[in-house]
Structures are given as C-alpha cells and as structure tokens.
C-alpha cells in the first residue's frame, strides 16, 4: 500500500506542477484577448501585420498550453492507475 500512496502522491505533484506551469500562457492569451477587445471597441483600422503578430502570440501560447494540458491529462491517468491499481 505505501507504494500505491507514493505513486498517487507523485502523480498529484506532477499535476500541480503542470497546472502551475500553465499560468504564463494563460496570462498571455488573456492579454491577447484584451488587446483584441480594445482594438474592436476602438473601431480604428488595424494593420494586418499587427493582427498577424497578435495571432502568432496567441497561437504560440495556445500550443504550449495544449502541450501542458496533455501532460497533465497523462499525469491524471497515472493518478487513476495508482488509485485503482
């Protein structure tokens, strides 16, 4: 039983680390969305290159966030195996 507890604790720790590591990308996506809202409300013309830069910033953050989410999901599978195995 102690080994099961150790596996469960390790998986839970890994999930916490993954969630903590997601914060910078979440903040970046929040910033991109805020900028897009401001630009939309202003009603001014925006250069396509500026919009492309915002899109790239959001896309990169989303890709990193997705990879971390998958890592957390994998860790949660390990947690389930430790609980039931």
Identify the weakest region by mean pLDDT among 6-15, 36-45, 58-67.
Answer: 6-15
Cα-Cα end-to-end distance for the chain: 10
When the pLDDT of each residue in the chain is averaged and rounded to a whole number, the result is 85
| The pLDDT of residue 3 | 66
Using a CB cutoff of 8 Å and minimum separation of 24, what contacts does 55-60 make?
57/28, 57/32, 58/28, 58/29, 58/32, 58/33
Residues 33-56: tens digit of each pLDDT: 999 999 888 888 888 998 999 999
Structure pTM? 0.72
Note whether 65 and 23 are within 8 A (CB): no
Average pLDDT over residues 61-81: 85
Helix/strand/coil for 47: coil
| The pLDDT of residue 14 | 86
Report the alpha-carbon distance of residue 5 to residue 11 in Å, rounded.
Answer: 10
């Amino acid at each position: 039983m102690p080994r099961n507890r150790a596996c469960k604790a390790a998986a839970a720790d890994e999930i916490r680390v993954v969630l903590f590591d997601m914060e910078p990308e979440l903040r970046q996506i929040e910033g991109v969305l805020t900028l897009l809202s401001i630009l939309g409300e202003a009603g001014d013309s925006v250069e396509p290159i500026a919009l492309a830069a915002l899109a790239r910033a959001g896309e990169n953050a989303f890709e990193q966030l997705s990879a971390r989410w998958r890592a957390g999901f994998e860790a949660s599978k390990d947690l389930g195996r430790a609980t039931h195995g």
